[in-house]
Structure 1
Amino acid sequence: MNEYGNALVGGLLIGLSAAILMVANGRVAGISGIAGRLLQGVQASSGALFVLGLIAGPALYRLIFDAWPSVTVTASWPLLVVGGLLVGFGSRMGSGCTSGHGVVGLARLSRRSIAAVATFMGAAIVTVFLAGFFA
């Protein structure tokens, strides 16, 4: 499968999983919220299964396509850790992450999610521009 097919299937699976979680549990499929509740010990088993599905996804891909998903990471571990901490802090401060606001919130036409997505997409565009400018 080519990169467009992978993106299409991945997007469909993300949307399907978000819809199933919303219908089955009435919960938004926001990864930061699910992970935060799991770490606090207040998340139901469905949250643990959701996170397990995220982790098991690449292994399932390997079984189906006989190859690991192609991802190349060129950043150093310290930069990845700092970036992860900043994303985690930002998602808690913004009451959600790209999956919650971008997938579920936009589909529900939430004004708060529209503002959040516009903010983090704008910040991403500026960051990419500046990173290219200073590289």
Structure 2
Amino acid sequence: MASDQPLPEPPPPPPPSPPRSAVPEPAVMKLTRGHSCVLCQQRKVRCDKQKPCANCVKAQVECRVVPPQPPRRRKKKPHERDLIDRLRKYESLLSQHGVNFEPIAHDFKPSDHGDDVADLEQDLSGLKTSPSSSADHVSPDQAHDK
């Protein structure tokens, strides 16, 4: 059974694949900031940042540079007023459900500057030592005078 129709051509062979390197895909690797190639990042060695770099040439692998990921955005801290409002909301819920607790002072107002000077002075007075205990210790100024 010979036929006059030509035989269909076999599909062309697939292009040769690049040599497989021991470097994982960039999505898997944790990237460091900078512009070192993937192989140098993985090996934790200094990259000479040439294209291709000396380490990739020596390893006979493709020199790939992946741009660094943008820095992560930090979470914003809630403002003191927002925290006080939330606390009061939860306190009212506790009161509604009959839970005993010690609420914050009703006249408490959040400050924009932290502790007042009077509070700081009171804390400082608590840190002062008594004359009998300070006699045992020599300050740097007193040591210099001797």
Is the radius of gyration larger for structure 1 or structure 2? Answer: 2
Structure 1-normalised TM-score? Answer: 0.16
Which has the bigger relative contact order, CA under 8 A and spacing at least 6? 1
